[in-house]
Structure 1
Amino acid sequence: MNNTEFILPAPPLPLTPAEEEKLRGRLSGFKGGYDEGYLRGRLAAMNARPEEVPPIRNIHVMYVASGKGYPYSPLDDAVLAALQKLTAQVTITDVRQNLMELAATQRPDLVLVLDGMDLELEQISLLRGLGIRTAIWLTDDPYYTDFTAKIVAHYDYVFTLERNCLDFYRGMGCPEVHYLPFAAHREHYQPTITRSAVQRDISFIGSAYWNRVTFFREIMPDLMTYNTVINGIWWDRLPEAPLYGERIEIGKWMSPVETAMTYSGSKIVINLHRSHIDEVVNNNTLMIPAASPNPRTFEIAASGTLQLSDARDDLGSFYKVGEEIDTFASPQELMEKIRYYLTHEEERRSMVLRAFERTLKDHTYTKRLDQMLNIIYR
């Protein structure tokens, strides 16, 4: 990344072995601090660039929020903020309201529903009867396809964040099914520019689905030799959790801003997707496999840190593996990659910058909602 040399005034000679070791430590510390400052400066410069926003569309969108509260409410914030940049007028409501009554007075051109699991489908049929276009953006594919299969045919446009659900919904007679993953909401996820209050080698933030518990159990002793912290609900499922005290935080939902600060203050963030096979929490009777990246993929990259993700088939469509992020296929490979990147700091920082730049260019909610509107109004 740079070839800066740190030269201290020559100390009195000769040096004892202890003095030599101390001097080497000082030099290493100075260079490490300089390089970290350089990284934060580059991230700050890129983050300060204004986002290019397409021309505003002269349309009125009624946005129907999920109505589920946290953790869906940050998604509502992201979608609403993007729509307000891209369209002439936005009316916000949620699934608990009378959409027909509101539409009769507001006369929107498009009704966009997030999630839609708790929305009375009769309202969508009545809206379509008024000539209003309707679209739904599904939030949890393929994990709840037993439920989504019952609602998708009621909409003009179906957007899914899972590539493997395209043929499933098309096979149900939906004429307009499109692949549109989530993204990074820049107001929530951005790098910490100054020295972060969080200082970790490795972080994982997420619920303790059983595939994650099984995965981490295999490497927990090695993983926790580093400054590693795990946050999320259900981690009392991990039998060894009490051994690590506060380094495994159980039962807490972290806000997006707190999550971003934690990501940014970590040298490496692990992204381990949930499994499409989980009889306890999933409703995916057909066992549709997941090939697409989760929203966390983009949020980690937007926070200015190195991401190690379990390999998913479509991940390479969004980031260059080995250049912008890296992947693992087993617990052992994850540990190998952790050891590598913690001892190859310049390579780690270069990947951080490339992933951050790619995210700002291609993976914001403004980009995603513009893609959606281009499809609906093509």
Structure 2
Amino acid sequence: MSIIKHPKAHHYQPSPAEEARARGREAGYRGGYEEGYLKGRADYIVKSHAESFPFRQLHVLYVASGKGFPYSPMDEAISETLRSMVAQLTVIEPGQPINEVAYQVMPDLVLVLDGMFVPNEQLDDIRRQGIKTAVWLTDDPYYTDMTTENVGHYDYVFTLESNCIPYYQQLGCRQVHHLPFAAFPEYFKPSKTPAAQRRDVSFIGSAYWNRVEYLSPIMDRLMQHNTMINGIWWDRLPNYAAYQDRIEVNKWMGPVETAEAYNGSKIVINLHRSHEDDSVNNNTVKIPAASPNPRTFEISACATLQLTDARSDLAKLYTPGKEIETYTSPQELLDKIEYYLSHEQERREIALNALDRTLREHTYGHRLNQLLSVIFP
């Protein structure tokens, strides 16, 4: 009996190109799953936070900032939120005779945003008619040289900067309250669809000199990741030419476009401006900044991991390490970027916790309800 010998089977060895394609498919599948999981969880959190605030039988005359972009989205957020909270809302620009409009409509409250362009004598006239007046200051402490002249002409002063409270009290203001910024969920919210442009890291904001000096030492390594920067003045960077294909300069991004960038990013850097930069500030008394900027809330409302420089008020608003991440040096910023880019589950959980905290406590509905509760207890 003869034995038939079969030729030895050869184990197939894929080519390097085939291996690369396989790794790409696996990474794409994993990335798609992770993004889908994040969006599903985020959608559940959004649906579980239906805002409901007391409705007040009040007539509010709202005086917009009059500053145009980027203040106009804030004006819209405030006016649209107020419409659902009070019986009547009248909105005007600072160029109109505010005292004459107030005589005609006789509101319960004249609420002014920023107030830089509002004549103080008109405010005094309104107060003589027994109408309550309030201002929400948006640029403290960077323009206190100008707000110093205005705050005494209001019944109520609300400032986003807690360090300005004792300063205004020393000026004779009896009703001064801390009212931080917030998120407007109509603009800043998790996207339900995959982002058109994916980024590992984003930074959106103006290139103030403190930001240029802070990021310059780590820019080479930062740009080794899929990093995009948007904002004015970034051609100030010493090696700008090396990164200009990933820096969009001299463009103000609207809230919808900004939210799209946040949603398309794994990590968004937040780096506050300096209170000591005399090239852009009017803060002669050098009041330091303790309170976070509006991006703190807007990034969090998009369910994106935020890395921010730590300001002293931050821990009152978000829990570091659980709902937001902080850094105290350029090297720590870089280290945490690289850590969270390789630890997807931790990155995702912090981002979702940030969304939940924002919708629970940090929307314009929460802020305006607080403001109205102070004035009409």
Q: Name the TM-score, length of structure 1 as normaliser.
A: 0.94
2:145 is aligned with 1:143: no
Aligned 1:251-330 pairs, distance under 5 A: 251-330=250-329
Report matched runs for 1:223-242 at 5 Å.
Answer: 223-242=222-241
Q: For 2:131 and 2:108, how far apart are their aligned partners in 1?
A: 6
Distance in 2 of aligned mates of 1:288 and 1:21: 55
Higher mean alpha-carbon deviation, 296-305 vs 242-251, is at 242-251
| 1:50 Cα deviation from its structure 2 partner | 5.6
The one-letter amino acid paired with 2:357 is R
**Which aligned pairs between 1:349-364 and structure 2 lie closer than 5 A?**
349-364=348-363
Q: Secondary structure at the match of 2:29?
A: helix
CA displacement, residues 335-371 of structure 1 (integer Å, 9 cap, x when unaligned): 0000100000010011111101111111100110000
Match of 1:71 in 2: 70
Is the 8 Å Cα contact of residues 207 and 234 (structure 1) preserved in structure 2? yes
For structure 1, which segment, 272-281 or 36-45, has the greater mean C-alpha deviation from structure 2 after superposition?
36-45
In the other structure, the counterpart of 1:4 is none
Does residue 1:119 correspond to 2:118, yes or no?
A: yes
Alignment of 1:130-209 (within 5 A): 130-209=129-208
1:58–1:13 Cα change, 3 Å:
farther
Cα distance change, pair 307–50 in 1 and its aligned pair in 2 (3 A): closer
| Alpha-carbon distance in 1 for matches of 2:203, 2:192 | 21
Amino acid of the structure 2 residue aligned with 1:307: Q
- 2:82 aligns to what? 83
1:101-120 mapped onto 2 (5 Å cutoff): 101-120=100-119
Q: Distance in 2 between matches of 1:348 and 1:67?
A: 39
CA contact (8 A) 1:206 1:231 kept: yes
Contact (CA 8 Å) 1:53, 1:86: kept in 2 or not? Answer: no
8 Å contact from structure 2 (residues 49, 359) kept in 1: no
Give the paired residue count: 367
Change (3 A) 1:15 1:375: farther
Bigger Rg, which one = 2
Which residue identity does 1:260 align to in structure 2? Answer: A
Q: Aligned-pair RMSD on alpha carbons?
A: 1.6
Q: Give the unaligned 5+ runs of structure 2.
A: 1-8
| 2:219 aligned partner | 220
Query: What is the DSSP-based 3-state SS (H/G/I as helix, E as strand, rest coil) of the residue aligned with 1:312?
Result: coil
**Structure 2 residue aligned with 1:51:** 50
d(CA) in 2 for partners of 1:146 and 1:313?
23
Deviation of residue 16 (structure 1)? 3.7
Partner SS state of residue 133, structure 2: strand
3-state SS, counterpart of residue 149 of structure 1: helix
Q: 1:5 maps to what in 2? A: none
- C-alpha displacement of 1:237: 1.3
The AA in structure 1 aligned to 2:59 is H
The residue type paired with residue 44 of structure 1 is: D
The percentage of aligned residue pairs carrying the same residue is 57
Code of the aligned partner of 1:291: A
Structure 1 residue ranges without an equivalent (≥5) = 1-11
Counterpart residue identity of residue 208, structure 2: Y
- Matched residue SS, 1:151: helix
Name the aligned partner's letter for residue 174 of structure 1.
C
TM norm structure 2: 0.94
